[in-house]
Structure 1
Amino acid sequence: MKSVNRDELGQFLAKELQVSTFRDYCPNGLQVEGRTSIKHIVSGVTASLALLEKAVEMQADAVFVHHGYFWRGEDMRVIGQKQRRLKLLLEHDISLFAYHLPLDGHAEIGNNIGLARHLGIVPDGRFGENDLGWLGILREPGLLTMADLALHVELKLGRKPLLIGDPAALVGRIAWCTGAAQNMLDQAIAAGASVYLSGEISEPTVHLARESGVAYLACGHHATERFGVQSLGKLIAERFGVRHSFVDIDNPV
């Protein structure tokens, strides 16, 4: 099995994901420094204790996630669960790499393009800051209604989405942005979408969807963001010859 230098890998990904172009809520890249030589990486959506324990069990050298640590506005003290998570990484000399918005927006391995491929949506435009919002049409549109689309999403993601809007309305252009991107609904409306898909939903989102006539599908934060880290791990494995394992820690949100 081949290995890659930790810092060389970080430099490659910083360029590949264009990390410097994003204004993010957390540091992107290496968040916790472990051993220099990496032979086996584990990827997962969130750097939870359960994921880290699995990485230790699998003798991983590095963990790659979409949701890491050190978020803007959080308690900076290393206490409680943060202490337990960091202690586990440091005790086992495992590096933690996290990529948030850069992994949402990437045109080939990002969460948004991954969700589109999984649902059979053909992208034809982007919107919002850093082009994080996407637009497209269904590969086989037919006369699909919003209710049909909701069922399609449920079957593909394994999670029943929350539909706000007329179930009988026909699906036209689709807009989407994974995760907690409900605040981009107004931009999706301005972009001419008939329906907007995201992970989460908030109270004001319901009113805006009802008043605008643009349907909203809350498809699950975790469910919509399982694609980027898997593609990232595959890219690393193919380029550097290291082993990659994806671990899906279930999350109903």
Structure 2
Amino acid sequence: MITLKQLLTSLDALLEVENYQDYAPNGLQVEGKKNITKIVTGVTASEALIEKAIELNADAILVHHGYFWKNEPVTITGMKKRRIEKLIKHDINLLAYHLPLDGHMHLGNNVQLAQLLDIKINGEIMPLVLHGEFERPMTWQEVSQLLHDRLDRVPLHSGGNVSRLIKTVAWCTGGGQGFIDKAAEFGVDAYLSGEISESTVHIAREMGIHFFSAGHHATERYGIKALGEWVKNNFGIEVIFVDVDNPA
């Protein structure tokens, strides 16, 4: 067993939340039980994840995507009301870590994705955008197959006019497609993110870089999973990762 205060203090320090200006509050978002023996982790605090946590009799939910985002309605109505009502009724804590979990250099989404894809990390192009290299040069079709095999997603590829093989790569999980121009200017062969925008296709073609969109959810499963394992190993409590699938 661990107290809520102990868990929050440890996670806030581990993820260095004070170093991030984020789009939503990091840490405790909805307060529940003071003592925690079981945690459910997942990418997003959807109603389906909450219902699974209730079924498993969890004391806390730990996610990457929580609530109270900037520019969303502040009223607790509709979908938000139903979610929060279930958390409060069952006395379940909701903890969320967004950018701090993206950027952590051991447990973070970017680092975990690199490990999954066997990419050697060479450094940062800018905060939250890493660069590295594959062990050997690959065709874009081979990279697409690798993403399919490791992430269970068929990625969307742009930059089919680029003839060179892919050795160097930059990436930012989730909604990081807007950094493609920085990756192209840096000089890597390919850029990988979760999402794609209409403009991303044109940038890939015109700046001569391969681009792969592999899914916001699919690229961000692994940070929260690693964070849950860290909690389990350090505090000896039960942690269960629940993958509520999302094709986006």
Shorter-chain-normalised TM-score: which range? over 0.9
1:29-69: CA deviations, max 9, x gaps? 00000000000000000000000000000000000000000
For residue 207 of structure 1, what is the aligned residue in structure 2?
Answer: 202
Give matches, 1:187-226, under 5 Å. Answer: 187-226=182-221
For residue 32 of structure 1, what is the aligned residue in structure 2?
Answer: 30
For residue 119 of structure 1, what is the aligned residue in structure 2?
Answer: 117
1:76-106: CA deviations, max 9, x gaps? 0000000000000000000000000100110
Tell me if the contact between 2:184 and 2:208 (Cα under 8 Å) persists in the aligned partners: no
- Deviation, 1:127, is 2.2
- The separation in 2 between residues aligned to 1:197 and 1:7, in whole angstroms, is 37
Of 108, 123, 148, 1:154 maps to 148
TM-score of the superposition, structure 1-length normalised?
0.96
Task: Say if 2:180 is the partner of 1:182.
Answer: no
Gaps of 5+ in 2: none
Aligned length: 247
- The separation in 1 between residues aligned to 2:133 and 2:231, in whole angstroms, is 30
Tell me if the contact between 1:146 and 1:168 (Cα under 8 Å) persists in the aligned partners: no
Give the SS at the match of 2:133.
Answer: strand
Give the SS at the match of 1:154.
Answer: helix
Tell me if the contact between 1:161 and 1:220 (Cα under 8 Å) persists in the aligned partners: yes
Where in structure 1 do 4 or more consecutive aligned residues deviate above 4 Å? none
Amino acid at match of 1:161: P
Task: Say if 2:170 is the partner of 1:172.
Answer: no
Percent identity among equivalent residues? 47
For residue 14 of structure 2, what is the aligned residue in structure 1?
Answer: 16
- Report the RMSD for the aligned CA atoms in angstroms: 0.9
Gaps of 5+ in 1: none
Tell me if the contact between 2:41 and 2:241 (Cα under 8 Å) persists in the aligned partners: yes
Tell me if the contact between 1:133 and 1:177 (Cα under 8 Å) persists in the aligned partners: yes
